[in-house]
Structure 1
Amino acid sequence: MSGAGQRCASCGSANIVQDELYAEQQQVCADCGSVESAVVLAQDPAGGSDVSYRRTTAVAKQLCANLIKGLERVKEIGRLLRVRSEIEELASKYFKQAYEHEDFIRVSLEKKEVLAGCCVLVSCRQLNWPITMGTISCLLSADQALVGAVHQQMVKSLDIQAPTTNITDIMEGHCQEYKLSPSQVREEFAEDSKALTKQAMALVELAADSWIVTGRRPLPIMMSAVYLAWQSLNPNKDRLKLSLDKFCNIAKVQKHNPASKRISELKEVLCKLGKEIPWIRERLTHDNIIQHVGDILQHRYALLRRALRAHEVSLQADSQITCGNPSAGEKPPSQSSDCVDQTPDASMEQQCSNEEREPQVGDGDETPVPEESDSHSQDQAPDWRKRVLFAPPCVNRPKRKRAERPELIVTGDEEISDSEIDSYIRTPQEAQIFALSQKMFASSDSGKS
């Protein structure tokens, strides 16, 4: 077999043939016998050209064990948040890229776990899914400052355009949708947009501190906050008797049905905090709490600490009473008699200064859980929902378990009822149509033959 188009480098002859020497193939000049090309195994390293280990077909590259655990953690977080499948896939893609990046190769396992949550957070923000950094921090039981630092580093290293959301800007834009200017509504219904935004923003922050926003869509919560803020800024008779439906009609916005439930939940939290204000002597209900919203929002952090502390003390007193020592547990009065004759501002300032000197029991979203050493008290309150003042909605309103349907076992030997037999029998009209169709088929077959 000659090589077409080739000439010998020694004699210039075109008579080049392919010679097989055992397992080697080489081209030889038939005239002078010189070897033109050959595979020399001894001279090439590793039996041929240099090939990297991961490109060989003998061994497939396997993923790192920590990378596999991180991808599983990303899926767990996505399923806890019940995100869409495309968000989960995008988060897994970002985690693979960040895990192999030089900025995250030599970091601790804690930061790698936080990195998984940050990948989910970035994916949710890019695909417009309402998840906050505080939610990710709670799921990972990690410091929010650490989550923020890892998030910034990941966005910078991977050059990701992650949209940032500011609740203040969102509330300003949302409040501007309500047509409540003096030129659009009557004077008793008119309200300044800036004052409405500030009051509604404080209510949203209070809802976040009391777990109301957890797992909820933002629009109904913002609508309920705007409605309560609008009523509390000028609590006259015209505004107080106006329902949410009529308020939406006046403001020319579309009502969100869950907003009614969020209003009830916000009023419940306001009532719990309003009980800790010493100058309020009346019994607070959902009907009269609107008049005190301004004072509650002004001192909400101090009232949150007082309410959590009073709830813990009452639980300890109840546990001591159930153990047979009723004299040891005495609930402290929620209203101080020393502050009755003082002005509201002076009394609250004095109580806030006293609370700063006292040890803090709970602050923000942290809900204190009283320690119970005896088993008897645990039997009395097995559900921890009764031991906390504020809890997430999934705890206060757990989903009902779906009743499982009994499995149908069909063997084919079941008895057939008379009604089923009648349904199988043709009617006289159906029998006549069937007979006519048979005659037509028989005549057509005879004509063809």
Structure 2
Amino acid sequence: MPAAGLKCPRCGSPNIVEDDHHTQRQNVCVDCGAVVSEGALTHDVFEGSDVSYSRTTAVAKKPCLNQIKGQQQLKALCRVLRANDEIETLSSTYFAQAYEHESFLKVSLQKKECLAGCCVLVSCRQLNWPVTMGTIACLMEADIVMMGAVYQEMMKVLKVEAPLINISDVMEAHCQEYKITSLDVHEDLAEDHKDLNKRALSLVELAADAWILTGRKPVPLMMATVYLAWQSLNPNHVRIKMSLEKFCLIAKMKKNRVAAKRVGELKEVLCKLGKEIPWVTDPVTSDNVVKHVGDIVKNRFALLRRAMRSHEDALKEENQLCCEEANPSEPEDQTPYATTRNSKEAKEPGEDTESKSNQEPEPNWGKRMLFAPPCVIHPKRRRMALEGLKDVTGDEEISDSEIESYIRTPREAREFAEMQKAWESQNEEAKCE
């Protein structure tokens, strides 16, 4: 049956007939036998034209499950940080570019999770939203060392730069997270965020002068300064008696477990400076030092100089007393010190060396300083190298008690006894010969 209106694309002949081939209707040219169209399966889509295999099988690339999970975690992190839509969009763009890069294709799942936090951190810093890496690591419950390595790698891969943040901007953003305005809490507990940020920032600067900030994570110290600033701005009996844990509960903040230790360190520094205030007659203790925080931060440079001078004078007096005790004015032959000294001189040189080695080590120099880094005041204990320790050659004699200390089971004890008996019999035979 001829098909009207069709021409053969090969020879141009209008002689086209319909032919049923394998239950599918086809239009075939009578002159050259070419198939003009193959029915409804291909005519509607390709209209009889030649189509490559790649076009017919091409599908859109979909993100993997880990990438989708990372995008969701990125959005949740932006919601927690109260970041705007611009930061969220830029973070998603960076994450999509870095995730598909060859440097992050064959890495662990922990590094891919850190990658989402690093993208948020870069976007926040570029768009002037102050956030620290410690905050991101705390929210994601990630290792800050691994996050730092991923952050540096991501900056190199994407070829982006992030400006350094200022501590004042970070403190301002941190203070705004505390719900202690008049709309949130009672009037006696309410405080303005600007006044709170100003006082907390002064305490952070004081902590830097007293070496408390050295080598420490910022989040616990910021929480401690905000707590002391809130107490000192209105030191009534309600605020003074309120603990850090209850303050965080009222302010709807999660308490940091190290912040309480930083509060104690800050109070210790404040007490040292509060004692140097001339117009304060009552003794300054950790319980009432918050009442004098305003005067301390206002005159902290003068108080630091006075405290250092007083500490140096106290050390001089202590050294003078020690010298007077060591060198009394009485004759040497009539003092008990001379007797003990003569008795020491009469000792042998070996005994004197043993007494020196048994003496206690000298106290840490950080204990004598008024303000010193925490790593100096509380150093890590290290094994002391033993003087005169001989090298082990393997030819040393081993006592029976030391050998028996390594024996654990009855079988081992029995085997050891048999070997010892055999060894003694061999020695006796050798002597007889």
TM-score, scaled to structure 2: 0.45
The structure having more radius of gyration, on CA atoms, is: 2
Question: Larger % of helix: which?
Answer: 2
**TM-score relative to the length of structure 1:** 0.43
